[in-house]
A and B are shown apart, each in its own frame.
Chain A
Amino acid sequence: MVIAAPSVDFDASRAWALSSEVSLRDEAFGALAYHHGTRRLVFLKSPELVTLVRALGSFDSVNDALDAHVDAPQRARYYAALAALQRSDLLRVR
């Protein structure tokens, strides 16, 4: 499991998407994400996070995606979760 902490490399003003090397499998708790390149398995621990991750690719920036999918009080938490996924190489800049 990745530790949630903001990453300097994760620029939320840019457009990101799930890496083409990553597969997602829905589960009751959220989803499993498997990176076929690094062969690492990561747990997405809420269905809301899974929806957000899947939606990233259709927004011009992470900020826009957060605006559309996440209530303000939850924003920092979801931003941190995305940054952690990015550090595990699950997200790619578009």
Chain B
Amino acid sequence: MCADSSLRDRFERGLAAPICLTWELTYACNLACTHCLSSSGRRDPRELNTTEAKSLIDEIAAMQIFYVNIGGGEPMVRRDFFELIEYAVGQHVGVKFSTNGTRIDEVAARRLAATDYLDLQVSLDGVDAATNDAIRGVGSYQAARQAMDHLAAADFGPFKISVVMTRRNVEQLDAFESLAEHYGAHLRLTRLRPSGRGVDTWDELRPTREQNRTLYHWLIERPHVLTGDSFFHLSPLGAPLEGLNLCGAGRVVCLIDPVGDVYACPFVIHDQFLAGNVRAAGFGTVWRESELFVSLRDEGSPGACASCGSYDACRGGCMAAKFFTGLELSDPDPECVLGHGEVALAQKVEVRRPVSTSDHSRRVSIPLRTRA
């Protein structure tokens, strides 16, 4: 998906409904990844129940949102998981969901394979257990690989392997590509954000500048590798990467969290980016009328990036990455490839990183049990 500049301008002013809607079904998760965007772990007692979730699907269908990206937490731990995805597909809302794979046994794999209009991605942050489990927890590599084996055996077709790029796995890019080929899967790479528990691990896990350059050139040679439009901050390194190359928050993208709160994007679960709640007003009203979203669509100022010749390539980068590193939204991206973000951070007298307003991390870690 890519767009010419007039279309991009149009997208920046917002659409009638999102193109990319992420809906996190639960904050419950049996893993405790150190970079979890949503600080998931414990279920929230206020989470939408089955009836409310189905009403939301009805509204998504009525707004002609063609597919929804389902995540969590681990969405498959919800008892009504299959009921909800099958209901969505029945309403012609395609489902793309993200899972750690721990709940994909033989039976689940066959059921998933039998469902039309369903895409899934299994998260994996290293090509070996040592690299992966350091971030995602002991046993999570084996669980993810077992899930992939079950999907392959059930003839699911091309699922996705979804990788968050970190300092520890940029060197494994070719090996990830081979792994995807082994399964006939699509490789999907996304950017590490300093969001959720990532606030605490971003400094040590984010790719170095040299690694970001490696990643950019690797991606340019492989336009078939999926990125969810994640790396547009790297586009000033040369030709633009595949995708819209803009921050879609509140314009073409948003997040509905498990309790029905609507945030500008999946990476900004924080009160400052909370637009409203689907229980109170319905999702459509929040999308169209919330003060936050209206203001995001109104912003035309390139801020501190105004004088940079590369502004058109990256549009100032990722709002979430700026916010959670203590930068102003008018500042450059902290990982600006021209180094302007580092300068902006260095010029702050005191860098105050925002404190999470929605933490569902488990207080005590529990060992992962996986199904055989």
Contacts and interface: CB of A to CB of B under 8 A. Distances in A.
A57 to B, nearest CB: 19
A27 B15 CA distance: 7
A43 B66 CA distance: 13
Contact of B1 (A1, A26, A29): A1
Interface stretch (A7-15, A32-40, A47-55, A66-74): A32-40
Contacts of B119: 39
B17 A25 contact: yes
A41 B1 contact: yes
A28 B10 contact: yes
A26 B7 CA distance: 14
A36 B94 contact: yes
Contact of B66 (A1, A27, A41, A45): A41
A29 B7 contact: yes
A14 B2 CA distance: 30
A29 B2 CA distance: 15
A58 interface: no
A45 to B, nearest CB: 6
A11 to B, nearest CB: 28
Contact of B64 (A1, A23, A43): A23
B7 A36 contact: no
B94 A25 contact: no
Interface residues of B, number: 18
Given A1-B1, A1-B4, A26 B92 contact: no
Secondary structure type dominating chain B contacts: loop
Contacts of B92: 23, 36
Interface in B95-125: 117, 119
A27 B16 contact: yes
Nearest to B117: A36
Nearest to B15: A27
Secondary structure type dominating chain A contacts: strand
A45 B67 contact: no
Nearest to B17: A25
Contacts of A32: 15, 19, 66
B10 A29 contact: yes
Contacts of B117: 36, 39
Interface string B6-18: 1100100001110
B368 interface: no
Contacts of A43: 3, 7
Nearest to A25: B64
Nearest to B10: A29
Given A25-B64, A34-B66, A39 B94 contact: yes
A91 to B, nearest CB: 18
A21 to B, nearest CB: 10
A36 B1 contact: no
Nearest to B11: A29
Contacts of A1: 1-4
B240 to A, nearest CB: 13
B339 to A, nearest CB: 32
A39 B159 CA distance: 13
Contact of A34 (B7, B16, B67): B67
A92 to B, nearest CB: 18
Given A1-B1, A27-B15, A39 B67 contact: yes
A41 B19 contact: yes
A84 to B, nearest CB: 14
B22 to A, nearest CB: 16
B63 to A, nearest CB: 8
9 contacts: A1-B3, A25-B16, A25-B64, A27-B10, A29-B6, A29-B7, A32-B15, A36-B94, A39-B119
Interface of B: 1-4, 6-7, 10, 15-17, 19, 64, 66-67, 92, 94, 117, 119
Given A23-B92, A25-B64, A32-B66, 9 more contacts: A1-B2, A1-B4, A23-B66, A25-B66, A26-B16, A27-B15, A34-B67, A39-B117, A39-B119
- The 6 residue pairs across chains A and B that have the minimum distance between CB atoms: A34-B66, A25-B64, A29-B10, A27-B15, A1-B2, A27-B16
